[in-house]
Amino acid sequence: MRLEGKPIAESIKVRIKEKAQQLNRQPVLLTVSVAPNESTLTYIRSQEKQAKAQGIAYRHLNFEKEITTEGLLAEIERINRDAEIDAVLLSHPLPKHIDELRLLTALSPEKDVEGRGPVNLGRLAYEKAFLYPCTAEAVMAFIDHYHIPIQGEQVAIVGRSTTIGKPLSWMLLEKARNATPIVCHTKTKDIPEIIASSKVVVVATGVPGSLSLSGVREGAFVIDVGINVVDGKVVGDVSLDPALENERQISVTPTPGGVGPVTSLLLMEHAYICALGSK
């Protein structure tokens, strides 16, 4: 079974329309970038297109790689004071000389559209999140929409980033969820055994084909967060195998058409939430 993202995306669009009616104005989403590479620029352009489709005014503020952390901090402070800007996305990766944590710390939590700053992540740890990190929230949207059983179940998360692995583990631990997450990384021992014993497997390695479905248990649910380009084709981190999926009743998200579109729309919904919070 394929866990398609389209029905989830459509439900988010409905929520966005409801929030647009509540707000009764166009929210402003600003992306801040520093010397983005072509891949990042492609992502920025896709977000601009999605923003316009959802009635959001999109702005892009780009800086050359010579800018310092202090220079960016001054810009962040200016953005915080700008009442016209509702939501801010700090594009990453940033150049190595830029202290991303200082920037995320300086950014107003009410404008932190991705929920990546220490205040929002700290609130998440206390189950009081203002905004969830978008990709982690997208994974939970699949779990909810497809009624994937997680209470008391082992959930393997392959990847420990602050955008996916860590926040997702906290979300799964919330009292309303009561899952048992195991976060795997490059130093984790016995990863194949952990994956094989897990009811749900979330893959966020950024490596195409890093998980073979032959290694997951029968009846498992696999959520592929990866978005990679191989030979001009968009692929995930999971090697899909339709015959094996049917034989072993494995449910898996496709790429494209899975987590990616849901994540993008959640970001747009967050922009409305930020705007409504400042109303």
Q: For residue range 241-266, what is the model confidence (pLDDT) as tens digits?
A: 999 999 999 999 999 999 999 999 99
CB distance 227 to 260 below 8 Å: yes
Last residue of a domain, one of 110, 143, 160: 110
Domain membership of residue 67 as a residue range: 23-110
CATH label of the domain that carries residue 61: 3.40.50.10860
Residues 138 and 105 in one domain: no
Give a yes or no: residue 274 inside a domain.
no
Helix (H, G, I), strand (E, B) or coil at 222: strand
Give a yes or no: residue 269 inside a domain.
no
Q: What is residue 229's predicted lDDT score, i.e. its pLDDT?
A: 84
Average pLDDT over residues 122-128: 96
Residues 146 and 208 in one domain: yes
Check pLDDT > 70 for residue 94: yes
> Domain tally for the chain?
2
- Global confidence as pTM: 0.96
Residue range 134-159, pLDDT digits in tens? 999 999 999 999 999 999 999 999 99
What's the sign of the alpha-carbon dihedral 30, 34, 35, 40? negative
Residues 102 and 148 in one domain: no
Give a yes or no: residue 278 inside a domain.
no
Residues 105 and 147 in one domain: no
* Average predicted confidence (pLDDT) for the chain: 96
Residues 147 and 239 in one domain: yes
Q: What is residue 43's predicted lDDT score, i.e. its pLDDT?
A: 87
Give a yes or no: residue 248 inside a domain.
yes
Give a yes or no: residue 182 inside a domain.
yes
Residues 105 and 149 in one domain: no
Of the candidates 230, 226, 217, the residue with the CA atom closest to the CA atom of residue 253: 226
What's the CA gap between 69 and 83, in Å, rounded? Answer: 23
